[in-house]
Homo-oligomer: A and B are copies of this chain.
Amino acid sequence: MTELPLVSRYAKLLPPDEPDGPFLYATDHVVTWGDTSKVGYLYYSRLIEWQGHLRELFALDFLDEYVRMLLQGHLMLTQSLSCEYLREIDLGDTISERLAVSWVNGPRMLGDFTYHRATPSGEELVARGQQMWVNATPQGHPAPWPPSVLDTCRQLNIDVAEALTA
């Protein structure tokens, strides 16, 4: 499976890192002064904001029906997140941020984020993170992901074997 299965409007789809892995959803960030602190490097919280921007571009790009549900009160809750900082990121760096949804399990979904700096000879991994999301009713009760979300996941080669069916 090496073809890009869907057309993306807001970012790029990249082929899976591993043969059976999920497609990657990617966007570029150029680090400007406003992203840095007096220390001189990228301020750490910016990577977390970028996680939000990318996951939400993903929803706008691939999950039209789910976005409509969210606008009517349905909830996609952030349950937890983490981030590891491997190398300092500097002004002017171009960072490719990539999101791969690793799996859907019951009402939960795990997103893996990686951050790669463009270098003259290729790229290097500079940070990585995760977010765990829960699909919930407007009342806040965890619920199975809607079929339209699971359909998109399958097209992106995301493991939905443990997804509940409504």
User: Chain A residues in contact with chain B, CB under 8 A?
Assistant: 10, 30, 32-34, 36-41, 43-45, 48-49, 51-53, 56-57, 60, 67, 70-71, 75, 77-85, 88, 91-92, 140
A57: which B residues are within 8 A, CB to CB?
30, 32
Query: How many copies of this chain does the complex contain?
Result: 4
Known: A77-B85, A78-B85. A49 touches B34 (CB 8 A): yes
Contact A40 B38 (CB under 8 A): yes
Contact A32 B44 (CB under 8 A): no
A45: which B residues are within 8 A, CB to CB?
34, 45, 48-49, 51-52
A82: which B residues are within 8 A, CB to CB?
80-83
